[in-house]
Amino acid sequence: MNRGHRHGAGSGCLGTMEVKSKFGAEFRRFSLERSKPGRFEEFYGLLQHVHKIPNVDVLVGYADVHGDLLPINNDDNYHKAVSTANPLLRIFIQKKEEADYSAFGTDTLIKKKNVLTNVLRPDNHRKKPHIVISMPQDFRPVSSIIDVDILPETHRRVRLYKYGTEKPLGFYIRDGSSVRVTPHGLEKVPGIFISRLVPGGLAQSTGLLAVNDEVLEVNGIEVSGKSLDQVTDMMIANSRNLIITVRPANQRNNVVRNSRASGSSGQSTDNSLLGCPQPMEPSFEPEDEDSDEDDVVIEDNGVPQQIPKAVPEAESLESLTQIELSFESGQNGLIPSRGLSLAPTAGGTDSEFETRAPDQKLLEEDGTIITL
Amino acid sequence: MMKFRFRRQGADPQREKLKQELFAFNKTVEHGFPNQPSALAFDPELRIMAIGTRSGAVKIYGAPGVEFTGLHRDAATVTQMHFLPGQGRLLTLLDDSSLHLWEIVHHNGCAHLEEALSFQLPSRPGFDGASTPSSLTRVTVVLLLAAGDIAALGTEGGSIYFLDVTTLALLERQTLSPDEILRSVPDDYRCGKALGPVESLQGHLRDPTKILIGYSRGLLVIWNQAAQCVDHVFLGNQQLESLCWGRNSGTIISSHSDGSYAIWPMNTGSSPTLQPSVATVPYGPFPCKAINKILWRNCESGGHFIIFSGGMPRASYGDRHCVSVLRAETLVTLDFTSRIIDFFTVHSTRPEDEFDDPQALAVLLEEELVVLDLQTPGWPSVPAPYLAPLHSSAITCSAHVANVPAKLWARIVSAGEQQSPQPISSASNWPITGGRNLAQEPSQRGLLLTGHEDGTVRFWDASGVALRPLYKLSTAGLFQTDCEHADSLAQAAEDDWPPFRKVGCFDPYSDDPRLGVQKVALCKYTAQMVVAGTAGQVLVLELNDVPTEQAVSVASVDLLQDREGFTWKGHERLSPRAGPLPWPAGFQPRVLVQCLPPAAVTAVTLHAEWSLVAFGTSHGFGLFDYQRKSPVLARCTLHPNDSLAMEGPLSRVKSLKKSLRQSFRRIRKSRVSGKKRIANANSKLQEANAQLAEQACPHDIEMTPVQRRIEPRSADDSLSGVVRCLYFADTFLRDAHHGPTMWAGTNSGSVFAYALEVPAAVAGGEKRPERAVEAVLGKEVQLMHRAPVVAIAVLDGRGRPLPEPYEASRDLAQAPDMQGGHAVLIASEEQFKVFTLPKVSAKTKFKLTAHEGCRVRKVALATFASVACEDYAETCLACLTNLGDVHVFSVPGLRPQVHYSCIRKEDISGIASCVFTRHGQGFYLISPSEFERFSLSARNITEPLCSLDISWPRDATRARVQESPKLSQANGNPSIILAPQNCDRSPDLTHKGADTPEPPEATLSPMSIDSATSADTTLDTTGDVTVEDVKDFLGSSEESERNLRNLTEDEAHTCTILIK
Average pLDDT (B74-102) is 90
Tally of CB atoms within 10 A around B1009: 10
Give Cα A77 distance to the centre of its chain.
21
Q: Is the pLDDT of residue B238 over 70?
A: yes
Q: Judge whether B678 is closer than 8 Å to chain A, CB to CB.
A: no
User: What is the percent of chain A where pLDDT is above 70?
Assistant: 54
C-alpha distances (whole Å) from B386 to each of A213, B61, B436, B458 are 57, 9, 15, 14
pLDDT for A325: 34
pTM for the whole structure: 0.72
pLDDT for B428: 61
Indicate yes or no: CB of A309 within 8 angstroms of CB of B777: no
pLDDT for B683: 53
Indicate yes or no: CB of A334 within 8 angstroms of CB of B883: no
pLDDT for A174: 92
Q: pLDDT-derived band of residue B815, with 50, 70 and 90 as boundaries?
A: confident
H helix or E strand, kind and range, residue B418: helix B406-419
Q: pLDDT-derived band of residue B461, with 50, 70 and 90 as boundaries?
A: very high
pLDDT tens digits, one per residue of B242-301: 999 887 767 899 999 999 999 988 776 667 788 888 899 999 889 999 999 999 998 888
pLDDT tens digits, one per residue of B607-640: 998 999 999 999 999 999 999 999 999 999 887 7
pLDDT tens digits, one per residue of B655-668: 455 555 556 555 55
Q: Which of B103-112, B813-822, B949-958 has the lowest mean pLDDT?
A: B949-958
Radius of gyration of chain A (CA): 25
Q: Which of A96-100, B122-126, B151-155 has the lowest mean pLDDT?
A: B122-126
pLDDT for A304: 41
Q: Which of A124-128, A350-354, B305-309, B884-888 has the lowest mean pLDDT?
A: A350-354
Smallest Cβ distance to A174: which of B707, B711, B846? B707
In this structure, the strands spanning A69-72 and A58-63 are antiparallel
Q: Comparing A334 with B451, which gets the higher pLDDT?
A: B451
Q: Is the pLDDT of residue B459 over 90?
A: yes
Smallest Cβ distance to B777: which of A235, A297, A300? A300
Q: Comparing B693 with A239, which gets the higher pLDDT?
A: A239
Q: Judge whether B854 is closer than 8 Å to chain A, CB to CB.
A: yes
Q: Judge whether A222 is closer than 8 Å to chain B, CB to CB.
A: no
Indicate yes or no: CB of B1 within 8 angstroms of CB of A172: no
Q: pLDDT-derived band of residue A151, with 50, 70 and 90 as boundaries?
A: confident
Q: Comparing B638 with B704, which gets the higher pLDDT?
A: B638
For residue B405, give every residue at least 6 positions away whose Cβ sits within 8 Å of its Cβ, in sequence order, or none. B524, B525, B812
Q: Judge whether A31 is closer than 8 Å to chain B, CB to CB.
A: no
pLDDT for B818: 83
Q: pLDDT-derived band of residue B1030, with 50, 70 and 90 as boundaries?
A: very low
Indicate yes or no: CB of A343 within 8 angstroms of CB of B2: yes
In chain A, positions 345-364, which contact chain B (CB-CB < 8 Å)?
Answer: 345-350, 353
Sign of CA dihedral B75, B76, B79, B84: negative
Using alpha carbons, select from A293, A205, A278 the residue that is nearest to residue A241: A293
Q: Is the pLDDT of residue B122 over 50?
A: yes
Q: Is the pLDDT of residue B1005 over 70?
A: no
Indicate yes or no: CB of A331 within 8 angstroms of CB of B705: no
Q: Judge whether B780 is closer than 8 Å to chain A, CB to CB.
A: yes
Are B210 and B222 in contact by the 8 Å Cβ rule? The answer is yes
pLDDT tens digits, one per residue of B771-792: 889 999 999 999 988 899 999 9
pLDDT tens digits, one per residue of B336-382: 999 999 999 998 888 778 888 898 999 999 999 999 988 888 888 88
Average pLDDT (B54-72) is 91
pLDDT for B90: 92
Average pLDDT (B694-705) is 47
pLDDT for B663: 60
pLDDT for A60: 87
Q: Is the pLDDT of residue B914 over 90?
A: yes
Task: State the number of CA atoms in the 13 A half-sphere of B763 facing the CB.
Answer: 0
pLDDT for A275: 36
| CA distance linking residue B630 with residue B662, whole number of Å | 50
pLDDT for A10: 41
Q: Is the pLDDT of residue B2 over 50?
A: no
pLDDT for B806: 84
Q: Is the pLDDT of residue B410 over 90?
A: yes
Average pLDDT (B131-159) is 75
Q: Comparing A9 with A60, which gets the higher pLDDT?
A: A60
pLDDT for A254: 74
Q: Judge whether A368 is closer than 8 Å to chain B, CB to CB.
A: no
Are B1008 and B977 in contact by the 8 Å Cβ rule? The answer is yes
Q: Is the pLDDT of residue B517 over 80?
A: yes
pLDDT for B766: 57
How does the average pLDDT of chain B come out, rounded? 79
Cis status, amide bond into B892, omega within 30 of 0: yes
Minimum distance, in Å, between the CA of residue A129 and any CA atom of chain B: 20
In this structure, the strands spanning B946-947 and B930-937 are unpaired
Which of the listed ranges B17-26, B158-167, B555-564, B988-997 does the model predict with the highest average pLDDT? B17-26
Q: Predicted ipTM?
A: 0.74
Q: Is the pLDDT of residue B649 over 60?
A: no
Per-residue burial over B690-704, b = 16 or more CB atoms within 10 Å of its CB, e = otherwise: eeeeeeeeeeeeeee
Indicate yes or no: CB of A334 within 8 angstroms of CB of B1: no
Q: Is the pLDDT of residue B647 over 50?
A: yes
Smallest Cβ distance to A304: which of B635, B706, B844? B635
pLDDT tens digits, one per residue of A50-59: 888 888 888 8
B chain contacts of residue A233, beta-carbon cutoff 8 Å: 830, 849, 853-855
Q: pLDDT-derived band of residue A112, with 50, 70 and 90 as boundaries?
A: very low
The edge-to-edge listing of strands for the beta sheet with B37-43 is B37-43, B48-53, B57-61, B67-71
Are A366 and A149 in contact by the 8 Å Cβ rule? The answer is no
Q: Judge whether A274 is closer than 8 Å to chain B, CB to CB.
A: no
Q: Which residue of chain B has the CA closest to A161? A: B712
Indicate yes or no: CB of B1 within 8 angstroms of CB of A337: no
Q: Which of A68-72, B44-48, B616-620, B873-877 has the lowest mean pLDDT?
A: A68-72
B chain contacts of residue A168, beta-carbon cutoff 8 Å: 711
Indicate yes or no: CB of B3 within 8 angstroms of CB of A295: no
Which residue in A162, A295, A334 has the most chain B C-beta atoms within 10 A of its own C-beta, making it the best mutation to test that interface?
Answer: A295
For residue B337, give every residue at least 6 positions away whose Cβ sits within 8 Å of its Cβ, in sequence order, or none. B321, B365, B367, B504, B506, B507, B508
Average pLDDT (B513-531) is 93
Q: Is the pLDDT of residue A221 over 80?
A: yes
Q: Which of A155-164, B97-106, B658-667 has the lowest mean pLDDT?
A: B658-667
Task: State the number of CA atoms in the 13 A half-sphere of B1013 facing the CB.
Answer: 9
User: What is the percent of chain A where pLDDT is above 90?
Assistant: 11
In this structure, the strands spanning B48-53 and B57-61 are antiparallel
DSSP SS3 for B371: strand
Q: Comparing A271 with B451, which gets the higher pLDDT?
A: B451
- For residue B687, give the DSSP letter: H
Q: Judge whether B9 is closer than 8 Å to chain A, CB to CB.
A: no
Q: Judge whether B705 is closer than 8 Å to chain A, CB to CB.
A: yes
How does the average pLDDT of chain A come out, rounded? 65
C-alpha distances (whole Å) from B572 to each of B515, B598, B618, B620 are 12, 7, 16, 18
